[in-house]
Amino acid sequence: MNSINLDRQWTFRKGLLDSISQLKSDPGAIVSLPHDGMIGTPVMPDAPARSDMGYFTGGLTSYTKMVEIPREWKDGCVGLQIDGAMMNASVEINGCKAAVQHYGYAPFYVDLTSLAEYGAENRITINVNTSMQPNSRWYTGSGLYRGVKLLHGPKVHLAPDGIYAFTREIADGIAFLEVRAEIRNGGSTNRLAEAEAILTDEKAGVKAAGAKQVIQVNAGTCETARIRFAVENPKLWDAGEPNLYRIRVQVRDLGEFRTHFEADPVPTIDEGSTLFGIRTITADARRGLRINGKAVKLKGGCVHHDNGLLGSVSLYEAEARKVKKLKELGFNAIRTAHNPPSAALVEACDRLGMYIFDEAFDVWGIAKRGGDYSQFFADCWEKDLTAFVRRDRSHPAVILWSTGNEIPERGGLNEGYLWAGRLADTIRRLDGTRPVSNGVCSFWSGLDDKLAEGQNQAQNAEGDGNLLWENGTEPFVNGLDIVGYNYMEGLYEKDHALYPDRVILGSENFPKEIGCHWPLVEALPYVIGEFTWTAWDYLGEAGIGKAVRFAEDDPGLQKGAWALMPPDGSPFPWRTANDADFDITGRMTPQGAYRSTVWGNPETFLYTRNPEDFGRQELITPWGFPVLLSCWNYTGREGKPVELVVFSGAEEVELLVNGENIGRKPVSRDGEMPGSVCFETVYRPGRVEAISYTGSAEVSRAVLETTGAPARIRLLPEKEQMQADGHDLIYVNIQIEDAQGRVVPNAEIHLSAEAAGSGWLAAFGTGNPVTAENYTDGNTVSWRGRAQAVLRAGYDPGSLSLTVSADGLAAETVRLDVTL
């Protein structure tokens, strides 16, 4: 169906919109979609979801837009396509309820054909309700955070997300493809329809192949046209070479049976298209995962759906920026934890080359939080799972489906064994070309009282649970092609002996253990990869990656790392998980530097520990990483001992302080963090260098310097222009520099930002995981000498300026172009 973007100028109101009089009495605020109605609200210490939601809270909000529906559409079909609405959305047109959608992450289509007023303006109202707190284990955001499209077409038309294309086989330089086009007949008579599929090289715009098929579609039904054709010398898609095609399908209404032989002077035609890549997937315990016949290990990272300072707003530029940075570090795969991603993220992975482990649910019928999706699962799972798979199944980046994460039913509760098979079989009916998985964890939950007590006794006696996990989950994983192991690397080899044909995936892994476990992944063919928790920091689950240093006599040290995660969560104002390779602004953390070293990066990475903590012991949560700083500014600690940590893939590292050789040490190859080396010295202002050697040859080096006082603000836009489409973004990185242009790594300065021109300041903040700041009010305090502004384009061409100011420093302005 023809698509019209409706994201421009919606009226946003707090509270449920339930009457025409309310429209007149409450003017609301004009916003552009995608929009997060939660990110600009204040955080509160007494927020019901506490650190789960980063101390944000939900409520009732509404979006309204007047939409002109032309009179000539009356003989066709019209509806809304919504990629996600958070959550419990009620869609109305002219005061009439048209649909209800509970799951905030699933795409859905709303048929407006019978309710629309043609040749007139129609009031579209979408109410959302995130008030049932806590309803998630992480920040959800609120509202129309993925945008809205208006679809229209003739009575006989392609169903929304109705194109399914896949590669049947690649042999002898020929790709054998099949396109299945779902055709819907919204009319009152039985029709014949011709579907033509055309394959075009997305980059060159050249037709590569195509074919036609005629089918019958009765009134009020949907039927599928199956179109097969071959492509000679195809360009294959994989993460390294993401060669794309576009599948375009035209549907012609040929008329009623027999009458279609008579020429129709004006046949109705509908058209749709989707990105597509030619590639094959196989997985087995002997050869591992193969893409196009080539062995692949998944260097994966879990990612939540929010975009940091923007909240849950999903725009292509934000998603593409994330994918680019992950690829630069060495990732080739992401897991969409723990829900369907946005269409924008899927497209970014298609275009840039990133494998997707595409996940459906975090809960089934047993709740993890009181207001979560479990209360709707029994009634809505099939509709939501189907919509999610239909949208993503033609996209080459998607290589693996997941039916869920750490599901409480994994031990058989609530007929979990049956549900596991039911969901997997549903996916296979929709798409039989990809493996199905599930992220299964240990039995810290999910057992009845008797089994749970027995597990405790067995663990106390034998330490391994006496095969309870293997026996308890065997019926659950019966329908899976690949079994996801969350934090259970210790079972890989043991379980391979029990189940020699099982394909294993580390579906979640602790970040600081990558150096210990990655060699095992590379060595075991039946383990196809690992996914760190997490690749990109996110809002909510606040503080699960904390690390704290204690004196030896501190009672807190005796409580252990789990004491850093109390039952009521991290204290206010903890906001982010603080557990990732990139912070929420997209700046690589020491954790990311370490991972890149393990994956073969030849760079040297040099960090220090705050000398105030020297001699203290560090407790780190399982998801945490040591607190390491890119800093050599420690005024007042001169002559005091300080510890330095270097990550290197070389054989040895030499340390120099102001030119003096402090020592040369071998890089560790075992222990807790293979690929690291530690030095102790005394702090002296100046310059410290770490030089990596293999043999006698220098491989690389890293430098830290003591800087002067803050002297200027520097604005570094990541690009110089953006399109006037209401969606494009420019990220402007902000540095506090000394007189020599060096970032002052301990600068904490209050900054104010203003934007003027053809766009607006969409967000302003830092990667600080502990803050009560509002990312939408133009104020922040620099963190480790840095901050970030995110500019969003308007709909009119021109220029957009950003000015950042601070007391005692000259204001800095950058001007950028907004073009058609």
Which superfamily, per CATH, for 156-267? Immunoglobulins (2.60.40.10)
3-state secondary structure of 630: coil
Q: How far apart are the first and last CA of the chain?
A: 25
Residue that has been written with the tokens 């795409």 in this structure: 107
Q: What is the pLDDT of residue 633?
A: 98
pTM above 0.75, yes or no: yes
Tokens of 736: 């506090």
SS3 3: strand
Say what the pLDDT of residue 99 is.
98
Which pLDDT score, from 0 to 100, does residue 364 have?
98
**Predicted pLDDT at 121:** 97
Neighbour-count burial for 153-162, b at 16+ CB within 10 Å, e otherwise = bbbbbbbbbb
Q: What are the tens digits of pLDDT across the range 107-134? A: 999 999 999 999 999 999 999 999 999 9
The domain ranges of the chain are 2-153, 156-267, 297-537, 600-705, 712-819
- Looking at residue 463, what is its pLDDT? 47
Domain 712-819 top-level CATH class: mainly beta
Q: How far is CA 705 from CA 592, 610, 712, in A?
A: 22, 15, 18
CATH fit for domain 2-153, picks 2.60.120.260, 3.40.30.10, 3.20.20.70, 1.10.3230.20? 2.60.120.260
- pLDDT attached to residue 740: 97
User: Would you tell me which CATH number, out of the four given (3.40.1390.10, 2.40.50.100, 2.60.40.10, 3.40.50.2300), belongs to the domain 600-705?
Assistant: 2.60.40.10
DSSP 670: S
Q: What is the pLDDT of residue 563?
A: 87
Q: Can you give the pLDDT at residue 461? A: 46
Q: Running along the chain, 820 residues long, what does each successive block of 10 average in pLDDT?
A: 96 89 89 98 97 97 97 96 98 97 98 98 97 96 98 97 97 97 96 97 96 97 98 98 98 84 72 98 98 98 98 98 98 98 98 98 98 98 98 98 98 97 98 98 93 69 69 96 97 97 98 96 98 98 95 86 88 98 98 98 98 94 97 97 98 98 95 95 98 97 98 98 98 98 98 98 98 98 98 97 97 97
Give how far Cα 605 sits from Cα of 72, 275, 608, 701, 717, Å.
Answer: 64, 39, 10, 8, 25
Give the chain's count of helices (H) and strands (E).
11, 46
Distance CA 770, CA 43 (A): 12
Ramachandran angles phi, psi of 110, nearest 5°: -120, 115
Architecture of the domain delimited by 297-537: Alpha-Beta Barrel (3.20)
Q: Which H/E stretch holds residue 495?
A: helix 492-498
Q: What is residue 458's predicted lDDT score, i.e. its pLDDT? A: 59
Fold identical between 2-153 and 297-537? no
Q: In which region does residue 457 sit, left (phi positive, over 0), alpha (psi from -120 to 50) or beta (all else)?
A: alpha
DSSP one-letter string for 328-385: HHT--EEEETTS---HHHHHHHHHHT-EEEEE--S-SSS-SSTTSTHHHHHHHHHHHH
| Integer angstrom CA distances of residue 710 from 100, 147, 714, 778 | 54, 41, 11, 21
Predicted local distance difference test score (pLDDT) of residue 556: 84
Q: Tell me the C-alpha distance between 640 and 214, whole Å.
A: 82
